Amino acid sequence: MKIKPLGDRVVIKKIEVEEKTKSGIVLPSSAKEQPQMAEVIAVGSGIANDEKKKEELKVGDKVIFSKYAGTEVKVDGEEYTILKLIDILAVIE
């Protein structure tokens, strides 16, 4: 199965980042406060068909997104987030 987001929406898959605190304890991601990183899995036709928008974001990009944005979905046992382009803050290169 493949998720095709509508309009200006994007499908992303969160990237879990292990992180040591100063005292050396590894925090599971749920204990961290930062916005999360993710990889872009699919972009809607509102992005793919817009010259400016498709230049800014493409499948495979690593992105920082607004943590409370979007809807989580599970397809074929994998968890994804569907959110709007406006909720993608930046691309990490």
Q: Which residues bind its own copies (CB under 8 A)?
A: 1-7, 9, 11, 34-35, 44-45, 49, 52, 55-57, 64, 66, 71-75, 82, 85-86, 88-93
The closest alpha carbon to 87, from 10, 4, 6, belongs to 10
Contact 57, 89 (CB under 8 A): no
Q: How far is the CB of 47 from its own copies (least distance, A)?
A: 11
Q: How far is the CB of 44 from its own copies (least distance, A)?
A: 8
Give the whole-angstrom CA distance, residue 21 versus residue 60.
29
b/e map 38-64, b = 16+ CB within 10 Å: bebbbbbebbeeeeebeeebeeebebe
Q: How far is the CB of 60 from its own copies (least distance, A)?
A: 14
Q: How far is the CB of 32 from its own copies (least distance, A)?
A: 9
